[in-house]
Amino acid sequence: MAEQSYSKRIAKNTIFLYFRMLLIMGVNLYISRVLLSYLGVEDYGIYNIVGGLVVMFSSLCGSLGGATSRYIIIELGRKNQDKLNRIFNVALFAHGTIALLIMILCETAGLWLFYYKLVIPEPRINVAFWVFQISILTTFFSLTQVPYNACIIAHEDMKIYAYIGLVEALLKLAVVFALLISPFDKLVFYALLLCLIQIMVMLAYRFYCRRYSECKLLFCKDMVLFKELFTYAGSDMIGVISVLAQGQGLNLLLNIFFGPAVNAARAIAYQVQGAVSQFSNNFFAAARPQIIKLYAEGKIDEMMCLVYRSSWISFYLLLMISLPLCLERDFVLSLWLGVYPDYTGSFLILIMILCLIQSLKMPRSAVFHATGHILRSNVMVGLILCAAFPLAHVFLKLGGSPESVFWAANISLALSEFVSVYLLKRYMAFSIKNYLFNIYGRCFIVSVLSSLIVYCVYRELEAGVIRLVSISFFSLAVVVLLAYTIGIDYQLRQKINSVVLSKFSCYANKNIFCFSCNRIRCNKSFNTS
């Protein structure tokens, strides 16, 4: 019964998240097309590299946000209301303080990088500067919002994300069309309006969070909790820094060696990856609180079972979309954007490979956070991930192409995965051999077989919309079939069979045709006499 309960909750929250994702994805993809047309490749690249510079510093706060979410989820599972309120207020104070420190960091080290390292055309320096300042302000509001978002996630109240996310997407769409009547530079005008939208979204979430008792503001001088929160977050900081090295650090390298046009290509590829990865990320967003709660309740076997299933579902959801997208990348990009920067197609393939590997990492990461044993993992794994930056720099110094940056990221991520699995063994009782086979082995086999089958069909069809649609449906069918037969274990397969058969049986029983009255009626009211 317990398993059914959290499965239903995950399913319900996933539906809300998918509803939000489909609407936002459609709007954002259209926004990218119009924005690229209005701003041009150069300004589009400038916005992403300058905005990315702020994100690089603000991401240092991400570890504290993850710590806040973890502690709130744990105390919700323990039903400790007093500590919940103290955690929230301590976290809010901490985020406000860090937001101020990050503003100072951006205005010092960030400006040094801006003027002395970034490659920005001379006529656009002043414009880029104001975009940088507006991005800092936007980030400040975003950081102070983290504890409120953590509460919503902890309560698994995902529907609010669907509603507010839809409004946010529509407002961003309106902003893009507002560029046509911009009274001053389009790039500055766009950044300014996005900042205003962020403030509106922040106020909406805070108004909604008034229903949670722990979100009541009060002055809390709990230095023990404050230290505990920062100790946990500090342990996670290395992991955040490693992500920066792979993300914005590599973005900086591309800018230094190739200029803002290549940054535009990377931004477009990541836009597609972000939209596609939502199909798996939304499922995991619903599953993550349950993984942490099961650990808090001491249900380790159920937790590991959920980790396995979350890994499979996240990976296969992403795979069935990635296959047709990678094969039809040129056609999709032309259909979507018309004209797009060089390297966008090759970037897209390499980023999707990176994304597939990362989808297997997320459930295991939730276990590390649930246990609180993240220091050793972040140090070991983080060092391997950070190696992507110097490795990419060596590739580029030796005359490597822009694609070599992503090869460096993929190599470091693949190596870090195996290290992470072995580290998890120190804290959880499970078979490494079974884990590697059931997660990586099954996913690899399904990936190779489905890629070969779909590619063979792809070769036999003529390019165009019909091939794209055909390949998409065929990819869905092949991945589902292979995942069901060899991609999951016997227990999950039997559960799927049971659910399908029960639904079919229920439908059949409710739709028995009665010849005496010439209509369909419920089996419960059927009288053989």
Q: What is the DSSP letter of 212?
A: S
SS (H, E, C) 426-466: CCCCCCHHHHHHHHHHHHHHHHHHHHHHHHHHHHHCCCCHH
User: pTM of whole model > 0.85?
Assistant: no
500 is a domain residue: no
For the stretch 293-346, pLDDT in tens is 788 777 888 888 888 888 888 899 889 888 998 999 989 888 888 888 888 989
Backbone angles phi, psi at 46, to 5 degrees: -60, -45
523 is a domain residue: no
Percent of the chain with pLDDT over 90: 10
182 is a domain residue: yes
158 is a domain residue: yes
pLDDT classification of 394: cutoffs 50, 70, 90: very high
pLDDT classification of 416: cutoffs 50, 70, 90: confident
Higher pLDDT, 516 or 135: 135
Calpha distance 494→499 (Å, rounded): 9
What b/e string do you get for 246-257 counting C-beta neighbours within 10 Å, with b at 16 or more? bbbbbbbbbbeb
Q: Give the CA distances from residue 394 to residues 199, 244, 349, 388, 390, in Å, rounded to whole numbers and listed in that order.
A: 42, 18, 22, 10, 6
275 is a domain residue: yes
- Tokens for 17, please give them: 């998240």
For the stretch 77-92, pLDDT in tens is 677 777 778 888 888 8
501 is a domain residue: no
Closest CA to 212 of 88, 376, 355, 53: 88
Provide the terminal-to-terminal Cα distance of the chain, rounded to the nearest Å.
38
Bridge partners, residue 521, by sequence? 512
Q: How far is CA 255 from the centre of its chain?
A: 24
Bridge partners, residue 513, by sequence? 520
User: Residue 96 in contact with residue 235, Cβ under 8 Å?
Assistant: no
Number of neighbours of residue 102 by Cβ within 10 angstroms: 21
User: Residue 423 in contact with residue 380, Cβ under 8 Å?
Assistant: yes
Count of domains for the chain: 1
Q: Look at the alpha carbons of 77, 78, 82, 84 in this order and tell me if their dihedral is positive or negative.
A: negative
- Host domain of residue 266: 2-488
170 is a domain residue: yes
517 is a domain residue: no
Give the angle 225-229-233 at the CA atoms, nearest 5°: 170
Q: Which residue has the tokens 């995950």?
A: 10
Percent of the chain with pLDDT over 70: 81
Closest CA to 428 of 364, 492, 360: 364
Instruction: Give the DSSP letter string of 300-323.
Output: HHHHHHHHHHHHHHHHHHHHHHHH
Bridge partners, residue 514, by sequence? 519
